[in-house]
Amino acid sequence: MIDPQVLQQLAPDGVLRAAINLGNPVLAQRGADGEPQGVSVALARALAEELGASLELITFDAAGKVFAALAEDVWRVAFLAIEPVREQQIAFSAPYVAIKVTYLVAADSALTQVAQLDAPGKRIAVGQGAAYDLYLSRTVQHAELVRAPTSAAAVDWFIEQGLDAAAGVRDFLQTRVSAHWRLLDDNFMTIHQAMAVPVAHAAAAAFVKSFVERQKAKGGVKRGLLDSGQSADLQAS
């Protein structure tokens, strides 16, 4: 029996409204039929089933836009990276996926390590509001961050504007590697992806936290990753 307060906070009127960020294809992407798929979508469906609710997927093209929509009560559960800036307004579960973040650079670039990017005159393309943008905003001291509207656009801007690097999720940036572009060998952070609810919804937060642990234990996260062509090794410990 689900606590009525949990149902009221997560699925008022019997509908679970879940925010899905399509800006990180490791976690969610559109399938051949145009519908969202991926581990985040699989978890949203499993949560709706457990609640006995119908599911409404609300898609965004960037994590920053998911966070901004919180104030409008557009969604009741989301899938976001754990970030100190967001924790003031969002209650996070334990992470369900851990993702490495690095830089894409020109194949003939002299850059070999991520630390070399934080230097005067260096320009780095980032997706505005992404977890790695927030991290770099706190830690970069000398380089300039050039903010594109989405993570995918950041790669385009890096190429089109001749910037020094594009920051992003390693698995996504790997798809852009070619004779002209390469990845640095090391990473500058690990994104800990979690389920998220508004911080005021304490009952929902406790339920979602337990739900994520159950899904990890029963293989739901690994299945969601594998079914969408991702590595099961991305599951967080």
Residue-level pLDDT at 57: 98
Over the chain, what is the mean pLDDT?
96
What's the pLDDT band for 27 if we cut at 50, 70, 90?
very high
Domain ranges of the chain: 4-97+193-234, 98-189
Q: What's the CA dihedral at 42, 200, 134, 21 to 10 degrees? A: 20
Q: What's the CA dihedral at 67, 70, 75, 76 to 10 degrees? A: 100
- Region 210-221: mean pLDDT is 97
Those residues whose C-beta lies under 8 Å from the C-beta of residue 7, and which sit 6 or more positions away, are 51, 53
| Superfamily of domain 98-189, CATH level 4 | Periplasmic binding protein-like II (3.40.190.10)
Task: Evaluate if residue 1 carries a pLDDT over 90.
Answer: no
Share of the chain above pLDDT 70, in %: 100
What's the pLDDT band for 128 if we cut at 50, 70, 90?
very high
Residue-level pLDDT at 85: 86
Q: Which CATH architecture has domain 4-97+193-234?
A: 3-Layer(aba) Sandwich (3.40)
What's the pLDDT band for 30 if we cut at 50, 70, 90?
very high
- pLDDT tens digit sequence for 3-24: 999 999 999 999 999 999 998 8
Residue-level pLDDT at 154: 97
- pLDDT tens digit sequence for 156-213: 999 999 999 999 999 999 999 999 999 999 999 999 999 999 999 999 999 999 999 9
- Region 128-144: mean pLDDT is 95
Share of the chain above pLDDT 90, in %: 95
Residue-level pLDDT at 36: 96
Residue-level pLDDT at 113: 97
E-only strand ranges, the chain: 15-21, 29-30, 36-37, 54-60, 77-81, 90-92, 97-106, 123-127, 144-148, 165-169, 181-183, 189-198
